[in-house]
Structure 1
Amino acid sequence: MKQIVASVDEVATVLKLLGDKTRLTMMALLDHHDCCVCELVEIFQMSQPAISQHLRKLKDAGLVKETRKAKWIFYSMNKEHELYSLIKNILAHIPDQQEKLKELKERTKISCE
């Protein structure tokens, strides 16, 4: 099996995006759970425009995908991205972020479905 080798520029772009704590945490969340903007707003306690800006950067780089369900847009990690194995390796070195989703479900009644 031939391994795809990304350019230094592509790797640097991904590392720069993941160098931001909010985007790194988002990627950890999106690796296991599709989220809508309203969930991320609550988790990060940030404004909707700020969350949308982070998501736009990740989407522009092809790291996240969006799926429309009725009037909601859900974001997920793009596991087909050529650098997904690099991202997955980076995420293995940070604490699991799924507790944030559990806390969100316990403290709010957000329903994007």
Structure 2
Amino acid sequence: MTLLDNIAIWLYMKKTMKKLEKRLKALADGTRLKILGLLSVRPCCVCELSAVIGYTQPTLTRHLQKLTEAGFLSVERRGFFQIYRLAPEDQEAERLLALVLSEIRETTEYERLVERLRVEGRLPNLLPTEENGSKAYELAKRA
């Protein structure tokens, strides 16, 4: 093995370790674990997560951004709403997520949150429609 090969291996390992470190840091927060638990039930918008968890939307958006950057979530825009879903970007993220979710699902907190999501977590009826004559309808159609 040449020095160049060793350097290439070292750089690859460093990059891989950085990615793992970023993912583990993203998982090392109780709020983010709650978010992952809820998203394992179904995709949600920030307003739904806010209603269920009880934190402000800006706070939850920062947590969702960390989870997305770590490769656990994807986001889709629907009109005015950002819908988040579990979408591990690779096998490593998928394995980590499966391990963490198996532990989360064993907690009573998870059961309580899922019940709150069932009752309180639904997109608000604020989506503009053509029938209600809302100017926001045109904006939503363009988004």
Query: TM (normalized to structure 2)?
Result: 0.64
Correspondence for 1:88 among 81, 93, 98: 98
Contact 1:29 1:98 in 2 (8 A): no
How far the C-alpha of 1:29 sits from its partner, in A, is 1.6
How far the C-alpha of 1:38 sits from its partner, in A, is 0.4
Correspondence for 1:111 among 105, 123, 129: 123
Instruction: State the SS of the aligned residue for 2:103.
Output: coil
Contact 2:32 2:63 in 1 (8 A): yes
- In the TM superposition, 1:43-54 aligns within 5 A as 43-54=52-63
How far the C-alpha of 1:7 sits from its partner, in A, is 1.9
Q: Quick one: higher RCO (CA 8 Å, sep 6+), 1 or 2?
A: 1
Aligned to 1:42: 51
Aligned to 2:26: 17
Gap regions ≥5 residues in structure 1? none
Contact 1:34 1:76 in 2 (8 A): yes
- Alignment identity in percent? 28
Instruction: State the SS of the aligned residue for 1:93.
Output: helix
Alignment: residue pair count: 108
> Which structure has the greater CA radius of gyration?
2
Gap regions ≥5 residues in structure 2? 1-12, 128-143
